[in-house]
Amino acid sequence: MNHAIARMAGPAEVVADHSWPGTSTTVLRLRATDGRQMILKANTSTDSFRREHTALSRWAPALGASAPQLLDVDEDAQLLLMTAVAGHPLQSLTLTGQQKRRAYERAGSLLARFHATAPRTVLPAFGAERAAYIRAQLTDGTHPLSGADLAVLDEALHLLEALPAQQAQPSHLDFTSRNVLWNTEAEAGVIDFETSRYEAVGRDFLRITQRTLYRHPDLRTAFYQGYGREPDRAESELMRICTVTDAAAIVVAGTARRQHAFATEARGILTAAVRAWPAPAPGTAIPHGRRPL
């Protein structure tokens, strides 16, 4: 790695290791002799490397300082050198209620900008392909899932397979308080594009909803005010379905791989979604009013 640093970044020292335990990536913060900070990211997953390279090459430039800017790439070694985005992850900060609402409003605005960095396209078989992917994640067995989980999962997978062609847009797909940064200039930034790709419209709301927004209605309101609109009916239905299918797959895979933190987080999400089914999953849509008797 020292040779790669010297070759790609010149004279620079490693000042921090931001690698996430249990993943395929190594993320090092570098400081050049002139004080500039850079990020060197190595990924042993070819698919993850290619997705991040594509996002940094095609979409991140439109976000300017709010996203990493690609400085150099070594495709053979699967290394990316990029600028460091100012700020700290939202999940690590202690903010007042007003500051949090402002941060999530700016995060929503940033996600809207990202979604607009390229024209939409169409995914004709999104539902069937996504369902096949989820079913493949369940090959380790479904023993962590209860009977109620399995009944709702089966219904959700059939609904997913029956979806029509979907509009698709550039999507981050891990847009959470871990990857959204907040800086002293009261501006949001976003990092970690290794899951990014063209994806069905609405899917990019899923993780931030599951992990934060459904528990904090005020932040949900601020986020969508920043984004410019609420999810529409089709997006809310996609989120309702994928909340169940995605969480179930993570519970199973995370348990099998002993990734207990991921499995526990997904277990909570799945339990809430199963309890709410067939109503919208918590936080995925404006709650329905009482139905007339």
Tens of pLDDT, residue by residue over 124-177, are: 999 999 999 999 888 767 778 999 999 999 999 999 999 999 999 999 999 999
**Degrees, nearest 5: CA angle 179-185-186:** 60
Determine the Cα–Cα distance for residues 278 and 237; give it in Å rounded to an integer: 10
Share of the chain above pLDDT 70, in %: 96
Give the torsion sign (CA, 44, 23, 191, 205).
positive
Task: Please list the alpha-helical segments (H only) found in the chain.
Answer: 2-9, 46-58, 97-115, 126-137, 147-161, 206-211, 217-227, 233-256, 260-276
- Residue 210: what are its φ and ψ, rounded to 5°? -60, -40
Give phi and psi for 240, each to the nearest 5: -60, -45
Q: How far is residue 256's CA from residue 253's CA, in Å, rounded to a whole number?
A: 5
Which pLDDT belongs to residue 291?
Answer: 34
- What mean pLDDT value characterizes the chain? 91
pTM of the prediction?
0.92
Given a contact cutoff of 8 angstroms between Cβ atoms, the answer to whether 199 and 173 are in contact is yes
Q: pLDDT tens, 63-117?
A: 999 999 999 999 999 999 999 999 999 999 999 999 999 999 999 999 999 999 9
Q: Is 194 exposed, middle or buried (0-12, 13-18, 19+ CB in 10 A)?
A: buried
pLDDT recorded at residue 140 = 65
